[in-house]
């Protein structure tokens, strides 16, 4: 079972991603869009970690943000 981050922790992780990875969050979100079409959240996180050598928390924050934005697009 995956660890649940609070909204504040999620935002803090997102804000640190550019300095820790050298890439903006928007760039990571495009990477997820262009990546394999995994169904499960943890599969996506594992792919980001393995393919791009990201820390677990950063990978999870990116996938969570990707899912939040995808859900918001569906509501529009």
pLDDT digits (tens, 9 = 90+) for 12-63: 999 999 999 999 999 999 999 999 999 999 999 999 999 999 999 999 999 9
| pTM of the full structure | 0.89
Residue 60's alpha-carbon distances to 23, 41, 75, 76, in angstroms, are 16, 8, 23, 25
Angle between helices 41-52 and 25-34 (to 10 degrees): 110
Residue 70, pLDDT > 80, answer yes
Euclidean distance between the first and final Cα of the chain, in Å?
31
pLDDT band at 73 (very low <50, low <70, confident <90, very high): confident
**Residue 1: per-residue pLDDT:** 41
């Amino acid at each position: 079972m995956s660890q649940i981050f609070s909204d504040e922790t999620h935002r803090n992780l997102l804000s640190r991603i550019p300095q820790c990875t050298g890439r903006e969050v928007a760039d990571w979100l495009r990477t997820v869009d262009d990546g394999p079409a995994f169904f499960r959240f943890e599969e996506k996180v594992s792919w980001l970690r393995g393919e791009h050598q990201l820390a677990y928390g950063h990978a999870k924050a990116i996938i969570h943000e990707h899912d939040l934005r995808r859900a918001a697009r569906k509501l529009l």
